[in-house]
Structure 1
């Protein structure tokens, strides 16, 4: 099985490796370093990269002839972007397309949140990226998702009792996952046992707030990072308890996932009618105080509202033909939408974005995220993260605040020793060079002048060559 996964990846990347292996050390001259945390600009700087790390930063750096010299021409240098919620293992060859798509969009780090590949194969790819054998973004493996039987997706860990939850966490820890991911159908006793066991194992609890669990219960249980934003907006509705109880009753009486989805279809109207600003302020204050990180994936709404690119758009043409064909077939999630949900879609999206802006203002930590996957139609590896950041700005964040969610917040949440969203000595050389000041607008991210990943410099010509290979493969 592993040979089947790796054969295509090795063939796809051999040319890139041959051309980039010689890029050992680099001196990047005349750049303006952007401090995303403070908003400060430092023009006229040089950055010396040795191996995978930044060795020195300053205005007067020199290096020998054996070091590659690159003139930054006053461009703006930022830390590489992170997408904190993706799925690159939903098909055997998905990384062949996903990895370059992230790099050409300036995304040098991703967190995978659930996969069909065995963990050993995921770890093998992760290791090859770290050693430079495969060119791709840094990879965090947080896809040990745990659900009640029979599981919402294939390949999940299953737990229906507290004892099973504890046993599952033992297995997750033994297999070397970075986190435990809770999913939607867990009951309260099992979820609470999962949270306790994850804490005892020293693993963060991330993932969905199960549909039977009020958000405040998850906060008190020590949930570290929640995926998707809808449960936050629902918790700001005065009838959240009633909606949660309704789902619990449905499952207790033998309802399956389809029955739950049918029940949830009526919740949008309830949320819109009972959302309360004062209540929301209290909820968000508790989330901020607890340090509960949120990966909003607001861009997912584009799928449900049909905001899809044209078939001839470059991002579509870079996908394998079989993926485009699968996206053109009926989807069970769209088929589950009722007329009422469709009529309320614009209002529901607007309320999510209003609540999101309030969450940011309240200090709730945000991790920029897209839910990109071949299994999620019209959510694109790479491109959708930039779309997500644009949504944050449209919701009221400044470009600097939006960038913070994709550069500073993720590596700090993941506890990476060599990355913290700054450009300085000892930091991993994951960087993006752009033409314009990104603090004045994020459009410049769409066409990076250079992307540096693990110390390897991909200039504009290299990035365009990667795009051309993807376009050719998509024909």
Structure 2
């Protein structure tokens, strides 16, 4: 049995949060002195503070209520039997839902059968894909289309593009479009992001990754596009047991893919970053808006890849929640990164400013964006807490507090097709809420100051959340 880090909520069923300020994340307005009446996991009513007949009452005086946070890029269910630690960290940090960014036939089958773990206080699985698209299952157009059809039959919510190349990527995208199945994920290095958007790619993760998005905003784009693109070499032939070997290899690589950065790739980043054309970047943003192509920047993931050996990550006290064996893998990957040539590591460090600049431009232009972390398996990315790290990095990029809040709440609800039931503090909506000590519309750091969490109609106070963290620190198992 997995550890029971999260105990049952101290209050559930029918109760009222009295005299709080409701934050309307869509209209960017505050509604003080409100009573939120909760029943059976939903917001039954919101009224001006007054007398209540509910026997159970939470004192919300001085607090601000926002929708629960969504981490739109995680890998929590890569290890279903070991997910309790990650789920506990999510609850303690106000994360009430997530998108699973890697899957398998077994994961999809178990979800359909109701066999996925659902410990007390677990976040809601909002969407999951099947097997990652790689050269192994997209080596031909026929193989790529077949893989998409297989995942569609198994109930995948979307297709995840990973280590694909141009032809396999577009074959999968075409078939996904035919089946009305979204395709999210990584842009291959030989794919123009404009072409991907025009063909219907729904969401680009990690601002690429790599140079391709930045190349589209470079005055030297033609020269950069003409360069041969090298990708991670993976087997294309299926042999008995090969998928298990491939999954183990990918798990090792994803701890820090930046450790595999070639000198050519680093040079491309440098050229793209130093030949930035804001007008071209704005045109790219307009195209994303036109085709409703979302962005999930995962800045915390990018930072831990490009700066893994900095004290901010190496000396992070929150490592006490991570399984010792996992920490060992992270340290090993960091040693591999340290062996990169100085010039390569310099290009990666300097690329950070370009990533912040692109994130701000997309936000300012109105490109649809969601917040994600790539937690679970990514080196130095601490589940739950990482979403708050993402908030800080988005602020460093220049995004406003309300934009950051919307990315993790109302934008996410719209992205997942749940805008009528999630992402607002309103009557009839799911009772997934976070109580904050300060106004998050004036300062994004208020998002860190959690007084309590309502998840699926159950209430955990600050003291309850601290107890969860204490239990996990005593028996660390998160990955």
The TM-score bracket by the shorter chain reads 0.7 to 0.9
Distance 2:361 2:310 in 1: 25
Q: Deviations over 1:58-84 (max 9, x none)?
A: 11565545x421110131000011111
Structure 2 residue 231 is the aligned partner of structure 1 residue 228: no
Match of 1:195 among 173, 176, 181: 173
Asked if the contact 1:81–1:107 (Cα under 8 Å) also holds between the matched residues in 2, the reply is yes
Query: What is the correspondence of 1:351-366 to structure 2 with a 5 Å cutoff?
Result: 351-366=354-369
How big is the shift at 1:51? 1.2
Q: Which runs of 5+ in 2 are unaligned?
A: 237-252, 254-258
Asked if the contact 1:229–1:294 (Cα under 8 Å) also holds between the matched residues in 2, the reply is yes
2:196 is matched with 218
Distance 1:456 1:296 in 2: 31
1:264 is matched with 265
Distance 1:252 1:431 in 2: 42
Distance 2:110 2:228 in 1: 34
Number of aligned residue pairs: 451
Distance 2:69 2:119 in 1: 21
How big is the shift at 1:195? 1.3
The 3 A distance-change label for structure 1 pair 408 and 120 is same
1:340 is matched with 343
Q: Could you tell which deviates more after superposition, 110-119 or 280-289? A: 110-119
Asked if the contact 1:44–1:74 (Cα under 8 Å) also holds between the matched residues in 2, the reply is no
Q: Which runs of 5+ in 1 are unaligned?
A: 1-6, 151-157
1:421 is matched with 423
TM norm structure 1? 0.87
Query: What is the correspondence of 1:33-432 to structure 2 with a 5 Å cutoff?
Result: 33-60=22-49, 63-65=52-54, 67-91=55-79, 93-115=81-103, 118-120=106-108, 123=111, 134-150=120-136, 158-188=137-167, 190-230=168-208, 231-248=212-229, 250=230, 261=262, 263-303=264-304, 304-305=306-307, 306-309=309-312, 313-331=316-334, 334=337, 337-373=340-376, 375-416=377-418, 418-432=420-434
Asked if the contact 1:25–1:49 (Cα under 8 Å) also holds between the matched residues in 2, the reply is yes
How big is the shift at 1:182? 1.4
The 3 A distance-change label for structure 1 pair 234 and 456 is farther
- More relative contact order, 1 or 2 (CA 8 Å, 6+ apart): 2
Distance 1:399 1:247 in 2: 41
Distance 1:302 1:194 in 2: 30
Distance 1:109 1:35 in 2: 19
TM norm structure 2? 0.86
Asked if the contact 2:66–2:434 (Cα under 8 Å) also holds between the matched residues in 1, the reply is yes
Distance 1:214 1:282 in 2: 13
Distance 2:115 2:58 in 1: 29
Asked if the contact 1:438–1:445 (Cα under 8 Å) also holds between the matched residues in 2, the reply is yes
Query: Secondary structure in 2 aligned to 1:28?
Result: strand
Q: Deviations over 1:282-339 (max 9, x none)?
A: 1111112111100001112332213354767441111122222222223587267432
Distance 1:87 1:96 in 2: 13
Asked if the contact 1:103–1:136 (Cα under 8 Å) also holds between the matched residues in 2, the reply is yes
